[in-house]
Amino acid sequence: MPTHAGTPLIEASGLTRVYHRPRTSLTRPGEAVHALRGVSLTVRKGERYGIVGESGSGKSTLLRLLCALDRPTAGSIRFDGREIAGLPERRLRFLRQSLQIVFQDPMSSLDPRMRVRDLVAEPLVALGEPVGDRVTELLDAVGLPASAAGRYPHQFSGGQRQRIAIARALAPRPEVLVADEPVSALDVSVRGQILNLLADLVDELGLTLVFVSHDLSVVRHVCETVAVMNDGEIVETGAVDDVWAEPRHAYTRTLLRAVPTLEGFR
């Protein structure tokens, strides 16, 4: 396992994000939802960093901020030393190339009207980079036949669709892969395969991984470091094996008691 000795790649400091629910009365303002309450974290180059917490704890909000898909209410995010919080899209090209995302549900993240060839090539086209043989190469890397290129997402199973989403994310040769519950929407029988694929690719390509799950047993198989989130805060962080063996925070212990076993994972 790589050590944590790498240089900091993503440094978040004091991140808060307040959402405002739509107002339901003319006289009262919409209710404020404090999705993040001052989150700080450091992800180092080559690290596999897991974020775990139950539904509603703020995991997806945190990822959206780290990926500059949303802006924090307060706080700072540095990527490779550069502040990204609040940057306009035209100044985020370096991030769009260096960091790619795999979402929970490939059915909604993949445009059903596009062929696999175009879905996988799209990030390259968007960056104005040549496609060449990259689609075939990527399909092979995720265990799909070259013939998949001419087909549409609905012609595949859920697990295969997530393979397509992974191929697409890898297209621009990112340095960081971010995954938000990438197996939670999949059939239990294929979760292990997709996690193994992700772990193998991260290893082979030397990627930095930021991986979100509500399940610490899943995080433990893919990550070396974990941050435990509860109600918009990181309550515990450390080497995942240590947190697993000896959770310090009461909330982590509760999470651990709820852990199911993961079938099909080697």
Ligand X SMILES: Nc1ncnc2c1ncn2[C@@H]1O[C@H](COP(=O)(O)OP(=O)(O)O)[C@@H](O)[C@H]1O
Shortest Cβ 70–Mg ion spacing (Å) = 13
Q: Are 240 and 225 in contact (CB under 8 A)?
A: yes
| Contact partner, 57, from ligand X, Mg ion, none, Cβ < 5-8 Å per class | ligand X
| Contact partner, 100, from ligand X, Mg ion, none, Cβ < 5-8 Å per class | none
In the complex, the residues that contact ligand X under the rule CB under 6 A are 19, 21, 33, 35, 53, 55-61
| Contact partner, 53, from ligand X, Mg ion, none, Cβ < 5-8 Å per class | ligand X
Cβ proximity to ligand X: between 21 and 82 the closer is 21
Q: Is 244 helix (H, G, I), strand (E, B) or coil?
A: helix
In the sheet that holds 208-213, the strands lie side by side as: 99-102, 176-180, 208-213, 48-52, 225-230, 233-239
CA distance to 40, 206, 242, 255, 266, per residue, from 245 (Å)? 24, 27, 5, 13, 20
Measure the CA–CA gap between 149 and 119, rounded to whole angstroms. Answer: 9
Listed in sequence order, the residues at least 6 apart from 44 whose beta carbon sits closer than 8 Å to its beta carbon are 4, 5, 6, 7, 8, 9, 208
Shortest Cβ 68–Mg ion spacing (Å) = 17
Shortest Cβ 63–ligand X spacing (Å) = 8
Cβ proximity to ligand X: between 138 and 165 the closer is 165
3-state secondary structure 84-134: CCCCCHHHCHHHHHHEEEECCCHHHHCCCCCCHHHHHHHHHHHCCCCCCCH
Q: Are 83 and 72 in contact (CB under 8 A)?
A: no
Shortest Cβ 7–ligand X spacing (Å) = 28
Cβ proximity to Mg ion: between 59 and 221 the closer is 59
Cβ proximity to ligand X: between 63 and 139 the closer is 63
Cβ proximity to Mg ion: between 139 and 179 the closer is 179
Applying CB under 5 A, which part among 15-23, 59-67, 229-237, 249-257 lies near Mg ion?
A: 59-67
Interaction of residue 60 with Mg ion, rule CB under 5 A: yes
Cβ proximity to Mg ion: between 121 and 212 the closer is 212
Other residues' Cβ atoms within 10 Å of the Cβ of residue 20: 10
Interaction of residue 193 with Mg ion, rule CB under 5 A: no
- Beta strands 208-213 and 176-180 are parallel
If residue 75 lies in a helix (H) or strand (E), which one and from where to where? strand 74-79
Applying CB under 5 A, which part among 11-19, 56-64, 125-133, 200-208 lies near Mg ion?
A: 56-64
| Contact partner, 82, from ligand X, Mg ion, none, Cβ < 5-8 Å per class | none
Q: Which residues of the shown chain bind Mg ion in the complex (CB under 5 A)?
A: 59-60
